[in-house]
Amino acid sequence: MTLKKFAVTFALGSMALLTAGATVSTAQSHVNSPDPLLGTPSVATETSNIDGITGHAESGKHLYRRFCIGCHGPDGNGQGMNAQWIDPKPRDFTEATFKCRSTPTGTLPTDEDLYNAITRGFVTTNMPSWRPLNPQQRADLVAFIKTWSPRWAKEKPGASLNIPPETAITIESILHGRELFQKLECWKCHGPEGHADGPSASTLTDSKGNPILPFNFSTGERFMCGDSNRDLYRIFMTGLDGSPMPSFADVIQPNDAWDLVHFLRTLQVALPNQELTLWQTYKAAHGKDLKPIGPDSAGGAQ
């Protein structure tokens, strides 16, 4: 089995980057493209389209072997040689389930979603930012990732969430957002103060059965799926598929969603922001009148 002998030379992404300039080997690759699966997009033809750039899977395959294989594995199933040391685990591309989507839960992400995820990386996890690769290379990688699952040949990505212009950041908006955080029971996982210590927090597992914690808003950690208020809006509306974080798109009205965004910012006490400043001033004057968030609060689940 010469296939098995293919030496996976590149360990972690950061190390791989050091060799970014080296020529790609022309040896037969052990990247087991899933071509034989009926209906799977083929490496020869699959493309991606990001803002005028067309990515080609064939080129992406070489980049994948160089930069991604150590974690995401020769079979694309997230079981690269480094995966055992990594938590959370690298994404299994054969399932085509992705966390950072602009599309509804249960649908494929857009090419742009994948491109953004690759560009951004997943802060707080081992998934590096691939900004050092040029846009064409990142687009090629998106095209290649889509050859791991037959879903890409059969289904279209879902429709991107429509995000209306942001509403004004006011204390009313924050207060209403706080009510929603209570009423929609975000606190059951994220905790009343967003410390990732809600009553369900310690029981959570991802869809592969691995323990997972809710996001802790208070530590200064950045969101995996983007940093802006628009990103935050999208995160809780579409949910993070493959994790316990559900989609709220069907249950939150657009303007209410902005209120929730504004409130969530006040939980990020280690990251100075406009909402937080406003909130701290308000709390200094009215803090005593605020009902604590949690099971006994009126307006919550009776």
Partner 1 sequence: MRMKFFAALALTVAMGSALMVFATPPPAGSGSITGKVTYTGTPMKMKPIDMSKEPSCAKQHATPITTENVATGPGNTLQWVVVYISAGDEGTTTASQGVRYDQKGCQYLPHVLTMLAGQQLQIYNDDQTSHNIHPLAKVNQEWNKSQPPGSPPIDTKWDKPEFIAVKCNIHPWMHGYFAVLKTSHVSITGEDGTFDIKGLSPGKYTVTAWQEQYGTKTQDVTVGAGAATANFVFTATPY
Contacting residues toward partner 1, per CB under 8 A = 35-36, 38, 95-97, 104-107, 151, 183-185, 188-189, 199-200, 203-204, 207, 239, 241-248, 250-251, 295, 301-302
| Residue 169 contacts which entry, ligand HEC, partner 1, none (Cβ below 5-8 A, type-dependent) | none
Do residues 68 and 93 make contact, with C-beta atoms less than 8 angstroms apart? no
Q: Which of the residues 206 through 225 are near ligand HEC (CB under 6 A)?
A: 212, 214-215, 223-225
Cβ at position 167, least distance to ligand HEC in Å: 16
The letter for the amino acid at 90 is P
Q: Hey, is 90 helix, strand or coil?
A: coil
6 touches ligand HEC by CB under 6 A:
no
Q: Which is nearer to ligand HEC, 169 or 240 (CB)?
A: 240
Residues in the chain: 302
Do residues 177 and 259 make contact, with C-beta atoms less than 8 angstroms apart? yes
Q: Which is nearer to partner 1, 66 or 101 (CB)?
A: 101
User: CA 157, CA 115: separation in Å to the nearest integer?
Assistant: 14
User: CA 243, CA 120: separation in Å to the nearest integer?
Assistant: 19
| Residue 126 contacts which entry, partner 1, ligand HEC, none (Cβ below 5-8 A, type-dependent) | ligand HEC
Question: Which of 275, 243, 246, 79 lies closest to 176, judged by CA?
Answer: 275
User: CA 285, CA 281: separation in Å to the nearest integer?
Assistant: 7
Do residues 236 and 249 make contact, with C-beta atoms less than 8 angstroms apart? no
Candidate residues 114, 139, 143, 237; the one interacting with ligand HEC per rule CB under 6 A: 114
Do residues 95 and 150 make contact, with C-beta atoms less than 8 angstroms apart? no
Candidate residues 48, 94, 110, 126; the one interacting with ligand HEC per rule CB under 6 A: 126
Cβ at position 36, least distance to partner 1 in Å: 6
| Residue 31 contacts which entry, partner 1, ligand HEC, none (Cβ below 5-8 A, type-dependent) | none
Cβ at position 285, least distance to ligand HEC in Å: 26
Q: Which is nearer to ligand HEC, 251 or 281 (CB)?
A: 251
Candidate residues 57, 108, 169, 186; the one interacting with ligand HEC per rule CB under 6 A: 186
204 touches ligand HEC by CB under 6 A:
yes
Cβ at position 39, least distance to partner 1 in Å: 9
Query: What is 271-286 written as a DSSP string?
Result: S--HHHHHHHHHHHHH
In three-state form (DSSP H/G/I as H, E/B as E, the rest C), the secondary structure along 167-225 is: CCCCHHHHHHHHHHHHHCCCHHHHCCCCCCCCCCHHHCECCCCCECCCCCHHHCCCCCC
Cβ at position 243, least distance to partner 1 in Å: 8
Q: Which of the residues 30 through 89 are near ligand HEC (CB under 6 A)?
A: 67-68, 70-72, 82, 86, 88
Report residue 210 as tokens: 């691995």
Radius of gyration of the chain (CA): 21
184 touches ligand HEC by CB under 6 A:
yes
Question: Which of 228, 244, 230 lies closest to 186, judged by CA?
Answer: 244
| Residue 105 contacts which entry, ligand HEC, partner 1, none (Cβ below 5-8 A, type-dependent) | partner 1
